[in-house]
Amino acid sequence: MTNKLPLKPLALIVMGTLGGCSQFTQLSHSPSPSPVETADSALGADAPERESAAQEDDIVIAEAELDLPPEDVWEVIRAGLTLDTHVDRRAVEQQIAFYSQHQSYLNRVATRATPFMYHIVRELEERDLPTELALLPIVESAFDPFAYSHGRASGLWQFIPSTGTYFGLAQNWWYDGRRDPIAATDAALTYLAQLNRRFDGDWELAVASYNGGGGRVNSAVRRNRQAGKATDFWSLDLPRETEGYVPKLLALAEIVSNPEKYGVSLQSIPNEPYFVSVDPGYQLDISKAAELAGLEESEFRAMNAGYTKWATSPRAHQRVNVPVAVAEQFIQSVSSLPENERIKFERYQIREGDALSLIASRFNTQVDAIRAYNDLRGSSIRAGDYLLIPIPAAPLDYYRSSDWQRLARAQQRGGQGGAYRIDYRVESGDSLWELAREHGVNVSDIARWNNMAPNDPIRLGQELVIWQRTPVQANTRRVSYAVRQGDSLARIAQKFKVSVSDLRRWNSTINGQKYIQPGQSLVIFVDTNNQS
């Protein structure tokens, strides 16, 4: 790739495990030479002294031409642009017009991109990939590390679970590699390079495949080839989202190449490392880590979005990213942190009448944290057994950027406009579609209220919030009724003092059926005060 401008070198890289000796690797680069180097200094210490000013006039002083890196990472991106932006294409023109008319949006994106852009561009240059790809997270996630799409895609690069797993991004209760800026960037660039090779170096097809899938794009290419048509991106019949995806990237590349032409001001992003990675060697409470780094929890969390709960992982993926400016102090603080300020654990013996929810509440922790530490599948526990209870350093509501706090805020937002809240625990056989039918809402509504995608699976025991426009009686209970021999909808409705139309509304599976069958399961919402 030609016309590359250098990135500023990383002065400090921290990847070693910290123990009692605070072992870590510090790599420093040699200081840059003086901008003006005299002939004497270039010759070395043995150069003869000058005798007079007149003699100096006869000497040609050589000035070293230094290849100084630019101050702004946008300049590095600009120098590495290689793709044809097709500005004559209407789809690209429309996207250029959109972005150029939304300066405030570009400012927000640049602010979010600041911690990550240097790292992404450095990775691109090391792999000899087009720097246009550094703009792809703008299209994918607007550089929001917490972004979660309707298609279950997550993180800066919007990996879906299966693709993330294929490219080695671990996903467990504590950690989601799709949201880890380092791991996800590595996976995304590996994936894009593979797609580029698959389509014989055609970056437009590779980028389209990143959005729409390589198989779908390959099928479109094959159809055109069989029909004797051109097989470039612009000639293919692809889904609307994918057809608009590539023009968005090209429009951004065109604007970056000449922002003044389009009346855009690109907010400066320093061409230097923003963060370094530190492996403390033990599980860190996020609130304590933020405190040691001198950052707000939300700022620390944004650089470490892969950690979805209140701590780093207990066994693997313990590395954290911290700003370069505070790295050395952070390392010292982490290595010398007293045991009593680290994550606390309680060995607890289960008592009669205990439940995981009660134990979690007692110790200011989460049910799922107890499950994760004790390899529990469900909620069944037995009196006399022991549990290892992880205890956060701060109250749970402190961790505002954690998954459950983001969920709580989403669930609360649904109550605007006088709606009534239902706290619902998922039962066997439930689906979002059936729950939406039962409560007179849309699947997309339930998904939005619970920070989910509409096609996300729900699990037994999961707690969902559903908002209804009609008041919910406190004495209403959900009953699962197994149809018996001789039952009819009218007889069941009479028995539970509801209407047949209610039964049909609550149970979409019986719509269109003339008869119900013994053993069939029906959902019935019963007013307990109206039963005799």
The 10 Å CB-count burial string (b at 16+, else e) for 469-486 is: eeebeeeeeeeebebeee
Measure CA 427 to chain center: 29
Determine contact, residues 135/256, Cβ cutoff 8 Å. Answer: yes
Which architecture, in CATH terms, is 476-527? Answer: Roll (3.10)
What count of other Cβ atoms lies within 10 Å of the Cβ of residue 116? 24
State CA 392 to chain mean position distance. Answer: 23
Q: Which pairs from 162-168 meet CB under 8 Å and 24+ separation?
A: 163/191, 167/191
Determine whether 125 is an active site residue.
no
For every residue of 237-267, DSSP letters joined together read: ---HHHHHHHHHHHHHHHHHH-GGGGT--PP
* Dist. CA 119–CA 134, nearest whole Å: 10
Q: How many Cβ atoms sit within 10 Å of the Cβ of residue 429?
A: 11
- CATH number 3.10.350.10 is the correct assignment for the domain at 275-391: yes
Cβ pair 217, 209 in contact under 8 A: yes
* Cβ 162 vs Cβ 173: under 8 Å: no
Q: What angle do CA 236, 237, 241 make, to 5 degrees?
A: 105
- With tokens 């003006």, the residue in question is 36
Give CA–CA dist 408/366, Å, rounded. Answer: 14
Annotated catalytic residue, options 123, 125, 132, 140: 140
**Secondary structure of 451-468 in HEC code, one letter for each residue:** CCCCCCCCCCCCEEEEEE
Whether 476-527 and 275-391 are alike in CATH topology: the answer is yes
Surface-to-core class of residue 160, CB atoms within 10 Å of its CB (0-12 exposed, 13-18 middle, 19+ buried):
middle
Domain segments of the chain as ranges:
73-262, 275-391, 400-468, 476-527
**SS3 for 307?**
strand
DSSP 60: P
Tens place of pLDDT per residue across the chain (532 aa): 445 666 665 544 444 444 333 333 333 333 333 333 333 333 333 333 333 343 444 444 444 455 677 899 999 999 999 999 998 899 999 999 999 999 999 999 999 999 999 999 999 999 999 999 999 999 999 999 999 887 789 999 999 999 999 999 999 888 999 999 999 999 999 999 999 999 999 999 999 999 999 999 999 999 999 999 999 999 999 999 999 999 999 999 999 999 999 999 999 999 999 999 999 988 898 888 999 999 998 899 999 999 988 889 887 768 999 999 999 999 999 999 988 888 887 888 999 888 888 888 888 787 878 888 888 877 788 899 999 888 776 665 545 545 555 666 666 666 565 567 777 878 777 888 888 877 778 888 888 888 777 777 887 777 788 887 665 554 567 777 888 888 888 888 888 888 887 787 777 667 666 678 887 888 887 766 565 5
- 400-468, which class in CATH? alpha beta
10 burial class (0-12, 13-18, 19+ CB within 10 angstroms)? middle
Helix (H) or strand (E) holding 424: strand 420-425
CATH hierarchy code of domain 73-262: 1.10.530.10
Number of Cβ within 10 Å of residue 519's Cβ equals 9
Residues 6+ apart with CB under 8 A from 233: 202, 204, 205, 208, 246
pTM above 0.85, yes or no: no
